[in-house]
Amino acid sequence: MIVKEVMRTNVICASSDTKATEVKNMMTENNVSKLPVVDNGKLVGIVTKNDLLKAEPSSATTLDMFEISYLLSKLTVKKIMNTKVISVGPNEVVEEAARIMVDNKISCLPVVDGDALIGIITKSDLFHMFTEMFGAREKGVRVVALVNDAPGVLAKVAKEISDLNANIISAVTTKQGIDNKIMLTIKATGLDEAKMKSIFEDAGFEIQDIRVN
């Protein structure tokens, strides 16, 4: 799956001349903590709630409330936004987008075509996608097992499940830091827990967890 299949295209944006007070209201109204900054269709920065907080006078200021409000009403996004924006292209694979977010500790990525902003992808979008990938909305037998990291392991299990006229709805492998071993998670329909357990035990796999959900 690629980014353009998951991204949102109705992006709420600010311009570099948008007042900070207006951006704060936009974030509150739309329940977001970040806004891409776009001038003439080009992504030029990103502004966050944290940027707005940093721009406010400290609690130790001698300014009164009216003076603070006046100063903030004159402050524009241009003066507080981050211009070093981490973005992603529409044809990037979603797992790379997820890696970029994790490695950079960010919760969203603007999607650009050249310099033009065409969408945004968030952690929430990725969670929704992973929910579908793991078959979380479909009831079945889910098994997690430690298996050899070798060719044919998944094919062997898949054949056994297929021979029972059952259907695999998700299959995921993850590294475990153990030499020549991976964790295999499979969810299938059309067979019961006992049959699934038998398939994995007969294959010599170390079952870590098995359940119907």
Task: Give the model confidence (pLDDT) of 161-178 as tens digits.
Answer: 999 999 999 999 998 888
List CB contacts of 31: < 8 A, sequence separation 6 or more: none
Q: Tell me if 188 sits within 8 A of 141, measured CB to CB.
A: yes
For residue 181, the one-letter residue type is K
Domain 3-130 of CATH type 3.40.50.1100: no
Question: CATH 3.30.70.260 occupies which residues in the chain?
Answer: 137-212
Instruction: Using pLDDT thresholds of 50, 70 and 90, give the confidence band for residue 104.
Output: very high
Q: What pLDDT is stored for residue 62 in this prediction?
A: 59
Q: Which fold would CATH assign to domain 137-212?
A: Alpha-Beta Plaits (3.30.70)
Dihedral sign, Cα of residue 9, residue 15, residue 20, residue 25: negative
H, E, C per residue of 80-91:
CCECCCCCECCC
Q: Each residue of 124-163: pLDDT tens digit?
A: 999 998 888 888 899 999 999 999 999 999 999 999 999 9
The structure tokens 């098995």 sit at: 210
Give percent of the chain with pLDDT exceeding 90: 80
Instruction: Using pLDDT thresholds of 50, 70 and 90, give the confidence band for residue 67.
Output: low
Q: What pLDDT is stored for residue 56 in this prediction?
A: 73
Q: What pLDDT is stored for residue 36 in this prediction?
A: 97
Question: Residue 65: is its pLDDT beyond 80?
Answer: no
Question: Residue 195: is its pLDDT beyond 70?
Answer: yes
Q: Give the pairing of strands 141-148 and 116-122.
A: unpaired
What's the rounded mean pLDDT across residues 193-204? 95
Q: Tell me if 164 sits within 8 A of 191, measured CB to CB.
A: yes
Q: What is the mean pLDDT of the chain?
A: 91
136: buried, middle or exposed (CB in 10 Å: 19+, 13-18, 0-12)? Answer: middle
Question: Residue 21: is its pLDDT beyond 60?
Answer: yes
* Whole-structure pTM value: 0.77
Give percent of the chain with pLDDT exceeding 70: 92
Question: CATH 3.10.580.10 occupies which residues in the chain?
Answer: 3-130
Provide, for the chain, the percentages of residues in helix, strand and coil under a 3-state DSSP scheme, each rounded to the nearest 5. Answer: 35, 30, 30
Q: Would you call 70 helix, strand, or coil by DSSP?
A: helix
